[in-house]
Amino acid sequence: MAIELVWDGKRAAAAEAERASTSIGLPEGNVVVEGDNLEVLRALEDPVDLIYIDPPYNTGNDFTYHDNFAGHEAWLSMMYPRLLLAHRLLKPTGSMLISIDDNELDTLTRLCKEIFSDDRVEVLVWNTEAEGSSGTLKQVRTVRSSHEYVVACHGPQVQWNRIHEALAGREHELQTANLAVNASRERSDHPNYFTITGPHGDEFTRQWKWDRDEIRRLQEEDLLYFGRDGRRQPRRVIPTDHRRTTYLRSILNYGGTTVGRKDFEAVMGREIEFSYPKPIVLLRKLILSASGPEATVLDFFAGTGTTGVAVEAANAEDGGARRFILVQQPEPAGPRAVDAGLPTLAAITRERLARMNVEFSPVYVT
């Protein structure tokens, strides 16, 4: 047993989890709930398979959302009842993943170990510059910080999936597959029967497995292989990163802070204020790894709704039918968002999902 974490207000915080509530019936399918997550967590009844949350880190900075709690104790008192309720909602096969940085890593990990037990908590490191950095010069005294954490808390029967990953150092190794259909099944009147010209002008007329547009795309992306001498019938190059399956590594090299910002700006423009949305690729990898195709995924600090976008992306990748439940309180948005007709952060959550054609039912809990 870990050393118990004690702070003033711990008992009162735990009592918050026990307060009575009236249950709210959620519709089927994807749901975005506007309301305080404590209220919503008390009211939820159906167990969930995966919880991802990205709570305020307590940096003390002036972000779009409130991120300045009076010290660790106030932050812990905010988190404790929510984590107790989340733990209760989680299936024994499920996991709860929590993004955090150095400000509260220590307190959060100890609290999680208390709730889930010592051996069911793992700390993963997220490389916040995995796809490059913003290049901004920051004043530092020692090292430039380029990582955050994901604290993973597991139910007693957890089993994660293997995911598709590039094989480090072998990404450029050549693997090819047939591009032409089997000669015995070839038909010269088929629309895919046409000529491909090799790099030395050789012509290959066959029925191909893909149509002209796709072949043109492959050729442009240099994914046709005409043999070592460049004169053989073309084959399709299979990039190695589509072949390999592996377990998620404890160092998460996905996206980065700037990628999260770019994902958000791609649909919302540069004006709308929101501090540090997470990159879709990070959450997609976590979801693919930690949940099955039928999972219900809960995020009760939804922000811009990245978890919802990533659930859809995970489904697109593995053919799954996961659904999400997001909770976001109607915290006032920044002045430019207000000008754009988005008065609250919850309005931003809904707007981003709507612009990305992600279907969901909005629910309001007051």
Ligand X SMILES: C[S@@+](CC[C@H](N)C(=O)[O-])C[C@H]1O[C@@H](n2cnc3c(N)ncnc32)[C@H](O)[C@@H]1O
- By the criterion CB under 6 A, which residues form the site for ligand X? 36-38, 54, 56, 65, 277-278, 301, 303-304, 306, 327-329, 331, 345
Closer residue to ligand X, CB minimum distance, 345 or 353: 345
Closer residue to ligand X, CB minimum distance, 121 or 286: 286
Residues 6 or more apart whose CB falls under 8 angstroms from that of 201 comprise none
Closer residue to ligand X, CB minimum distance, 148 or 165: 148
Nearest approach in angstroms of CB 242 to ligand X is 27
Residues 6 or more apart whose CB falls under 8 angstroms from that of 55 comprise 79, 98, 99, 100, 301
Give the C-alpha separation, 348 to 345, whole Å.
5
- The two tokens of residue 173 are 């190794």
Closer residue to ligand X, CB minimum distance, 234 or 279: 279
Nearest approach in angstroms of CB 302 to ligand X is 6
Nearest approach in angstroms of CB 127 to ligand X is 17
Closer residue to ligand X, CB minimum distance, 26 or 181: 26
Nearest approach in angstroms of CB 37 to ligand X is 4
Nearest approach in angstroms of CB 150 to ligand X is 12
Element (H, E) at 288: helix 280-290
Nearest approach in angstroms of CB 115 to ligand X is 18
Measured at the CA of 200, the angle between CA 198 and CA 204, to 5 degrees, comes to 35
Nearest approach in angstroms of CB 351 to ligand X is 12
Q: Which amino acid is it at 198? A: G
Nearest approach in angstroms of CB 158 to ligand X is 22
Question: Between β-strands 147-154 and 90-100, what pairing exists: parallel, antiparallel or unpaired?
Answer: antiparallel
Looking from the CA of 94 toward its CB, the CA atoms found within 13 Å total 19
Other beta carbons within 10 Å of 184: 5
Q: Which amino acid is it at 240? A: T
Question: Tokens 């190695």 map to which residue?
Answer: 240
Question: Between β-strands 235-237 and 224-225, what pairing exists: parallel, antiparallel or unpaired?
Answer: antiparallel
Closer residue to ligand X, CB minimum distance, 66 or 190: 66
Closer residue to ligand X, CB minimum distance, 81 or 94: 81
Residues 6 or more apart whose CB falls under 8 angstroms from that of 163 comprise 245, 246, 247, 248, 285, 288, 289
Nearest approach in angstroms of CB 330 to ligand X is 9
Residue nearest ligand X, CB atom distance = 303
Closer residue to ligand X, CB minimum distance, 149 or 225: 149
Residues 6 or more apart whose CB falls under 8 angstroms from that of 363 comprise 24, 26, 27, 31, 32, 33, 34
- Strand residue runs (E) in 198-307: 203-207, 224-225, 235-237, 244-246, 251-252, 296-299
Closer residue to ligand X, CB minimum distance, 97 or 215: 97
